[in-house]
Amino acid sequence: MVKTIRVYELGGPEVLKWEDVQIGEPNEGEIRVKIQAIGLNFVDVYIRKGVYKIATMPFTPGVEAAGVVTAVGPGITGWKVGDVVAYAGGSMGSYSEEQILPANKVVPLPPSINPTVGASIMVKGMTVHYLVRCCFKVEPGHIVLVHAAAGGVGSLLCQWANALGATVIGTVSTNEKAVQAKEDGCHHVIIYKEEDFVARVNEITSGNGVHVVYDSVGKDTFQGSLACLRPRGFMVNFGQSSGTPDPVPLPSLGAKALFLTRPSLMHYSATRDDLLEAAGEVFANVASGVLRVRVNHKYPLSQAAQAHADLESRKTSGSVVLIPDCLWQDILN
């Protein structure tokens, strides 16, 4: 039996229940992993609330973790007991002390990256990879607008875009987060509670607008984000922490010949080659110092409900990691 978080009904953080479950042995094509750290992502909130639909109930949430292989299924090659691995997406259920995973969905974690960092960099790092390298290829001279610039994805996105030579404009909610955004490569930081981000972007760009907006906030920022774009600009909406944006009449994009996309990590890591390429580039950028991973908050796995509540209320910045309770004392020491 292992400790895990289970969800029996959709709702608020209180639906996250701490239980004992039996996970069994891996089948063909699977491995069992003893989880050392779990990445908390906003997609976990969307799934818990029912914004993103799942097929079965009850379920164990979580789409990102790092740990050690403890068993391999029949016919598995390339993995052995003791290997340190990480994964993102492909198999839900990381809010657990152990998990059985498809072997082709995990990647080897380099020795230079500890499991806590590994668990916080897979989803967020690979998300940033497809944002700046695939959806819109950021190059020197580009001006980019990043909403939630001090969040887990936003922090890495500002760093990577800056390293690629872009001028980075970030929006945040507090002065404290503004300081972090500056440290992470934002050339201009807008505290959206104190000033109109559309007017400020217009001022910064001398009325020209930005080349691309990376918007994970959704409803509250969507229309303003479109207004910030220059002609033929790219609107990349990859989240909806404030709610789903209102429908966009197609002709409204024609006024400036704008591009609009709603990507997801699943579509940019669908093949084994895609997964290895994205993870490899992320790990290389961490090792070289291009990306500094901010693991600003850690919670015991049993307190996942509190972690969700803090994330939703914007009390967190950078990455949030859950640690299995059996390992929590080691983290404190």
Q: What is the DSSP letter of 234?
A: E
Q: Contact, 296 vs 305, CB < 8 A? A: no
d(CA 269, CA 127): 10
Phi-psi region of 71 (alpha: psi -120 to 50; beta: other; left: phi over 0): beta
- DSSP assignment of 151-163 equals BHHHHHHHHHHHH
Q: Say which DSSP state 135 is in.
A: I
Length of the chain, in residues:
333
Q: Are 312 and 41 in contact (CB under 8 A)?
A: no
pLDDT at 332: 66
Cα dihedral angle (180, 185, 188, 192), rounded to 10 degrees? -40
In the chain, how many H helices and how many E strands?
11, 15
Using an 8 Å Cβ cutoff, are 281 and 125 in contact?
no
Tens-digit pLDDT string for the chain (333 aa): 999 999 999 999 999 999 999 999 999 999 999 999 999 999 999 999 998 888 789 999 999 999 999 999 998 999 999 999 999 987 899 999 999 999 999 999 999 999 999 999 999 999 999 999 999 999 999 999 999 999 999 999 999 999 999 999 999 999 999 999 999 999 999 999 999 999 999 999 999 999 999 999 999 999 999 999 999 999 999 998 888 899 999 999 999 999 999 999 999 999 999 999 999 999 999 999 999 999 999 999 999 999 999 999 989 988 999 999 999 987 765
Reference 268, options 277, 260, 280, 259; nearest CA is 277
Q: Are 240 and 215 in contact (CB under 8 A)?
A: no
Q: What is the distance of C-alpha 197 from the center of its chain?
A: 23
Angstrom distance (rounded) from CA 189 to CA 177: 9
d(CA 83, CA 25): 17
- Token output for 96: 């657990």
Round to whole Å and give the CA distance between 130 and 236. 11
3-state secondary structure of 141: coil
Task: Count Cβ neighbours within 10 Å for each residue of 11-50 and write b for 16 or more, e otherwise.
Answer: eebebbebeebebeebeeebbbbbbbbbbbbbbbbebbee
Domains of the chain with CATH codes: 2-120+293-331 (3.90.180.10), 136-262 (3.40.50.720)
> pTM (2 decimals)?
0.91
The Cα 99–Cα 36 span in angstroms is 11
Beta bridge partners of 229: 210
Q: Give dist(CA 97, CA 22) in Å, integer.
A: 11
Angle ∠(203,204,209) on CA atoms, nearest 5? 85
